[in-house]
Chain A
Amino acid sequence: MTDADGPVSRAVADAHRREWAGVLAATVRVTRDLDLAEECVQEAYAQALTAWRDGVPARPGAWLTTAARRRALDAHRRAAVAQRALPLLVVDEVAPEPWGTPPDDLLALLFTCCHPALTAEARVALTLRLLGGLTTPEIARAFLVTEPTMAARLTRAKKKIAAAGVPFRVPGPDELPRRLAGVLTVVALVLTTGHTAPTGAALVRDDLLDRAHDLARLLRSRFPDDADVAGLLALVLLTDARRASRTDPAGGLVLLADQDRASWDADMITEGRVLVRTALTARPVRRYAVLAAIAAVHADAATFADTDWPEIVGLYDVLAARWPSPVVTLNRAVAVGFADGPDAGLAALDALRDEPRLAAYGYLAAARGELLRRAGRDAEARTALEEAALLTANDVERELLADRLAALDG
């Protein structure tokens, strides 16, 4: 008997979505081995499909953790682990819970996944796999690599964690600021990757956006006084509030100018605004607070025409002064194009003409094409938009560019 859409399957799927990371983190403490922990947790979910037919437990996470840990202890008993080639994960001993503070396994797992001794690609992949519960093919698709490549990347990272002794631990106060910044970078990358999927038929990757949401909330609950954390959660909320309006019923891309602002998620925007206000009071000014503030200016505008572009240019000036990057220059030029007209925007873009890091960045060509079109320089606009269409691997973006090109011809 299967109940693919029945209440038990739904409860298990729901628990997968909500509890995966916590169950895995608690199991890692027992297995001291990431692969074995994953295996045990997967088996626990499979077991739930049958066991929960008699009733879904009141605390599914606790049920799953117990089941996964029991399997982990069995595996240890079978002594397979004793003859393993790889050393065990470094896990601090903790006092039994009635006396000591229960360890924050979830946060420890996040810091392990985002350890600076791993490559940036491995950090985000491991985070999506171990905390997000995404499958290897899902992660591979998000980052434009083949499944075997992604599988090898994950395996290599897990081996390094074990062999090099990357600890399963929340860093101490000395290291925490630096390490937390690394974790925020990973979450921000999950957000941007989900917001506009680099590849594929859909504009948005809902699974990635949901994970960015969860991770930002987790960090906010653990670091309530950190302005960058507040800024990042605000950025997630204010960006994600627009999710429903960014595509039309056929999956086509709807630009910010054309989005139905009434469909933006008002609760997310309200919460995001409050967080931005808090985050912006920190000194020195924090990067994620400024990024979130830009998103908040958009959220504050009742219509696209009401957008306070000079304010947005000012915020990009802050970013450009403290955290200069070609992408910041590009986004600032787009804002200048709306604040002071297309010619001013094109002048601001000129700084990027010979920027090698943007040579294959489709948004530069797209932004130039859009400014040229508004400046009435149709022939040049066509060349730029054609270049942008060649450079994107996202089908929805390519269709929008094709529409723009067709409009130029009309």
Chain B
Amino acid sequence: MGQYLILIYTDDASHAAMGEQEVGALMAAHQAFGAEHGEALRGGGWLHPAATATSVRRPDGRETNGFAAGEDALVTDGPYGETKEALGGYYLVEAPDLDAALAIARDVPEPFGGVEVRPLRPTVQQYS
């Protein structure tokens, strides 16, 4: 068994242009997805659009001070990387292998973009 993060990439502008009914239908599709794959789901979330993102990084050229950006971190408006499709949400699933994870990923409702499936390293500290 391994854990996989399914990253959902979407086009925020197309998303914003959806009518109320369409949004309702998309939500229903996610609920149906959750019901279908409930046993494998370990978490998930829907993000506000990338326009609400704030990036925090180490100022250019500064030596690392430990591993973190620290107090003088550069705080900027916007996502870490600008792309047409931005991270819009995620599901965390547990699956026996990649084929099983991909079978779940195929069912993720996402009308404007697509999803990326990433295996989690088993040694990473688990939070609950």
Contacts and interface: CB of A to CB of B under 8 A. Distances in A.
Interface of A: 87, 90, 115, 117, 163-167, 169, 171, 175
B101 interface: yes
Contacts of A87: 2, 122
Contacts of B2: 87, 165
Given A117-B102, A165-B2, A165-B101, A90 B96 contact: yes
A312 B117 CA distance: 45
B97 A166 contact: yes
Contacts of B122: 87
A2 B2 CA distance: 49
A173 to B, nearest CB: 13
A268 to B, nearest CB: 36
A248 B65 CA distance: 70
A80 to B, nearest CB: 18
Interface in B87-128: 95-99, 101-102, 117, 119, 121-122
A164 B97 CA distance: 8
Contacts of A175: 99
Q: Per DSSP, are chain A's interface residues mostly helix, strand or loop, or mixed?
A: loop
Nearest to B119: A164
Interface of B: 2, 95-99, 101-102, 117, 119, 121-122
13 contacts: A87-B2, A90-B96, A90-B97, A117-B98, A117-B102, A164-B119, A165-B96, A165-B97, A166-B99, A167-B97, A167-B99, A169-B99, A175-B99
B119 A165 contact: yes
Given A164-B98, A165-B98, A165-B101, 8 more contacts: A115-B98, A117-B102, A163-B119, A165-B95, A165-B97, A165-B119, A166-B98, A171-B99
A280 B101 CA distance: 37
Nearest to B101: A165
A405 B69 CA distance: 67
Nearest to A116: B102
Contacts of A164: 98, 117, 119
Contacts of A163: 119, 121
A289 B96 CA distance: 37
B110 to A, nearest CB: 19
Contacts of B117: 164
A165 B101 CA distance: 9
A164 B96 CA distance: 11
A163 B3 CA distance: 11
A175 B100 CA distance: 11
A166 B99 CA distance: 7
Contacts of B101: 165
Contacts of A166: 97-99
B2 to A, nearest CB: 5
A169 B100 CA distance: 12
B18 to A, nearest CB: 31
A87 B117 CA distance: 17
